[in-house]
Homo-oligomer: A and B are copies of this chain.
Amino acid sequence: MLVAILPGDGIGPEVTAQARRVLDALAVPGMTYESALVGGAAYHATGHPLPPETLDLAKRADAILFGAVGDPTCDSLERALRPEQAILGLRKELTLFSNLRPAKMFPELADDSTLRREIAEAIDLLIVRELNGDVYFGEKGMRRTADGLREGYDIMSYNEAEVRRIAHSAFKAAQARRGKLCSVDKANVLETSQLWRDVVIEVAADYPDVALSHMYVDNAAMQLVRNPGQFDVIVTGNLFGDILSDQASMCVGSIGMLASASLDANGKGLYEPIHGSAPDIAGQSKANPLATILSAAMMLRFSLGQAEAADRIEAAVAKALAGGARTADLGGSLSTSAMGDAVLAAL
């Protein structure tokens, strides 16, 4: 089994290095690793954020462990050369359409959320975000209006096949959890959302055991603050999923804790922390590597058939936290590698 490791930019290399140490310590038989450049790091070295060798490795691999992309020194490049195009390109080229972003409080961190303890403790939700469509991938560009004004535009759209496949992912996820699915859209304003809602309702007929509800995105952003414990699975489009999953992740304490999986139809996946490249703390060994370590656990479970190894990682993370291990984002002072040490010691 080949795992591609794509560290990327900013704190990406620091956090993936710790995940790699944990994977090495598990010594799962038959696992091999190859690394490649991606994002700003790849642009600076090769002139492209997703060089052909990197895409090729990602295609050959059974699973991908991804750090983060984003590099302020690339802000003025044309869009096609910016770091973000690497992750967008991987998601699209590998048809990784189903992004799973679980948010659950680690009991050890109940005091880290800015939400009141009883509200934060009740959070146990999964955001299923569509990752191959929406305003992310429609035609976009700069043009001139009839009066000669500069205008930026982006076409938002979903077709029924795109909505259907993510809806099936979400209904299945809800079946495996508490049987509740909330579809989030803005159907009172957007035709894209109206199609979304219509198709989700059609797919619901195949899942009579799942309780489906619908919520407008503005209300969802509010409900995630008011009473996040009401949610089991949320399914939504690429743009709303981007916003709501970051919000939800902060509700459980630190975005430095949350892992994600981006899956294709066959269970091949890319695994990455929800946090970004955090250029402000890059290279200072301050970043929390747990989201990436937990992403490695998701990878073992979902793409590599190694549920037991995944359980071991998750237990070790919980044990390290219970033992008081804390990076700066969690109010502590451990360095990135010292947090890695703590997890290794707990393994």
8 Å CB contact of A243 from B70, B84, B221, B249:
B221
* Pair B114/A154 contact, Cβ less than 8 Å: no
Complex Cα spacing A255 to B219, Å: 10
Closest to A227 in B: B114
Q: How many Å from the CB of A231 to the closest CB on chain B?
A: 14
User: Is there an interface contact between B155 and A70, defined as CB atoms closer than 8 Å?
Assistant: no
Tell yes or no: A178 within 8 A of B by CB: no
Whole-angstrom CA separation of A189 from B119 in the bound complex:
33
Which of A190-198, A204-212, A291-299, A317-325 lies at the binding interface?
Answer: A190-198
> Taking the complex as formed, is A188 at the interface, i.e. its CB lies under 8 A from any CB of chain B?
yes
Interface residues in A133-155 by Cβ distance below 8 A to B read: 135-136, 138, 140-142, 145, 149-155
- Minimum CB–CB distance from A199 to chain B (whole Å) comes to 8
Select which of B115, B161, B194, B239 is within 8 A of A114 by beta carbon: B115
For the complex, is A116 an interface residue (Cβ under 8 Å from B)? Answer: yes
Collect the chain B residues with CB atoms within 8 Å of residue A194's CB: 79, 142, 152
A250: which of B138, B150, B225, B245 is its contact (CB, 8 Å)? Answer: B225
The interface bits of chain A over 150-175 (1 if a CB of B lies within 8 angstroms of the residue's CB, else 0) are 11111111111100000000000000
Given contacts A88-B189, A222-B246, contact A151 B159 (CB under 8 A): yes
A140 to B157, CA, bound (A): 9
CB-CB under 8 A from A219, the residues of chain B are: 246, 276
Query: Distance (Å) between the CB of A320 and the closest chain B CB?
Result: 23
| Chain B nearest Cβ from A120, distance in angstroms | 9
Among candidates B149, B186, B191, B225, residue contacting A115 with C-beta atoms closer than 8 Å: B225
- The reply on A242 being an interface residue by CB < 8 A is yes
A217 close to B (CB within 8 Å): yes
Question: How many copies of this kind of chain does the complex include?
Answer: 2
Between A138, A156, A196, the greatest number of chain B beta carbons within 10 A of the residue's beta carbon is seen for A156
Given contacts A149-B161, A151-B160, A156-B156, contact A221 B192 (CB under 8 A): no
- Of B161, B198, B221, B223, the contact of A221 (CB 8 Å cutoff): B221
Nearest-neighbour CB distance to chain B for A213, whole angstroms, equals: 13
Q: Are B250 and A153 in contact (CB under 8 A)?
A: no
Q: Does A312 make an interface contact (CB < 8 A)?
A: no
Kindly list chain B residues whose C-beta atoms are within 8 Å of the C-beta of A218.
242-243, 245-246
A-B contact pairs, 8 of them (CB 8 A): A79-B194, A149-B161, A151-B158, A153-B192, A155-B155, A223-B250, A225-B251, A226-B250
Binding site for B on A (CB under 8 A): 70, 79, 82, 84, 88, 114-116, 119, 135-136, 138, 140-142, 145, 149-161, 186, 188-196, 198-199, 217-219, 221-227, 239-240, 242-247, 249-251, 255, 276
